[in-house]
Amino acid sequence: MFNESAELYDTIYSSFKNYRQEAAQIAGLLGAINPSYRTVLDVGCGTGEHARLLANLHGFTVDGLDLNPTFLRIAREKHPFGRFYEGDMTTFHLPTRYDVILCLFSSIGYVKTLDRVEQALRCFRNHLQRGGVVLVEPWFPPGKLQAGHHSERTGEGEGVRVRRVGITELDGPLSRLRFEYTIESADGIRNATEVHELGLFTIDEMMAAFAAAGLKAEHQPTGFAGRGLYIARIAG
């Protein structure tokens, strides 16, 4: 998914995503739910920016999980006190249970199908301490995205300038984002292409998946970045 852009991820997203503000929102929500929470697993952790900030600024012990080894290398460099595991969110098995499981920035959409959403949520439940909480920031539901939508982002840092142009395609319950990159550095200009596929799930479908995985969820329509938020605990 991020085969071409992993090294450039922070350059692109730091131009518009306020990780510090989001980390403060997450910490505030967790404090309101249970101020004794300390251990966090960030599933789909990317380059570890949320993990770094939650640990350094808010006192949490944060580990991470991601499929992309380049993301994990960057995350370990940023947050050397965390444990970062390479794994699929639908099948992972770690030696630790956590007070909090995070799955942010629509990472859950990358599993593509409802069956795999349920598998992921079962994994989350299996790694959750009794009394803990799962926070899932979803991708958009059906009907929110428009086919042909054009987006453009630019970012600069460490001698590199990146321009990313995206086009949205819709294919039934799947959204497809085609990204074209123009990357300028001291070595010249190169172009790259990525295709990202994310499943489109209704709120009712997501709530049913939580229930099937043994989790009782509530849905907040806004969340941290306007895409909504599911807050779930072990059922029963």
pLDDT, one tens digit per residue, over 1-55 is 788 889 999 999 988 999 999 999 999 999 999 999 999 999 999 999 999 999 9
Q: Between β-strands 215-220 and 229-234, what pairing exists: parallel, antiparallel or unpaired?
A: antiparallel
The count of residues in the chain is 236
N-term to C-term CA, the chain: 37
Residue pLDDT, tens place only, 196-232: 999 999 999 999 999 999 999 999 999 998 999 999 9
Mean pLDDT of all residues in 66-91: 98
Is residue 162 pLDDT above 90, yes or no?
A: yes
Residue 236, Cβ density class (10 Å: 0-12 exposed, 13-18 middle, ≥19 buried):
exposed
120 vs 79: CA distance, rounded Å: 25
Integer angstrom CA distances of residue 150 from 8, 154, 168: 20, 14, 7
- State residue 147's pLDDT score: 97
Is residue 63 pLDDT above 90, yes or no?
A: yes
Report residue 115: phi and psi, to 5°: -60, -40
Mean pLDDT of all residues in 66-85: 97
Mean pLDDT of all residues in 68-94: 98
Mean pLDDT of all residues in 141-156: 96
% of the chain beyond a pLDDT of 90: 95
* Fold annotation for 16-141+202-234: Rossmann fold (3.40.50)
Mean pLDDT of all residues in 125-153: 97
- State residue 4's pLDDT score: 83
- State residue 15's pLDDT score: 87
Integer angstrom CA distances of residue 216 from 42, 92, 134, 234: 20, 21, 10, 6
Is residue 146 pLDDT above 90, yes or no?
A: yes
- State residue 218's pLDDT score: 98
- State residue 3's pLDDT score: 84
Residue pLDDT, tens place only, 83-111: 999 999 999 999 999 999 999 999 999 99
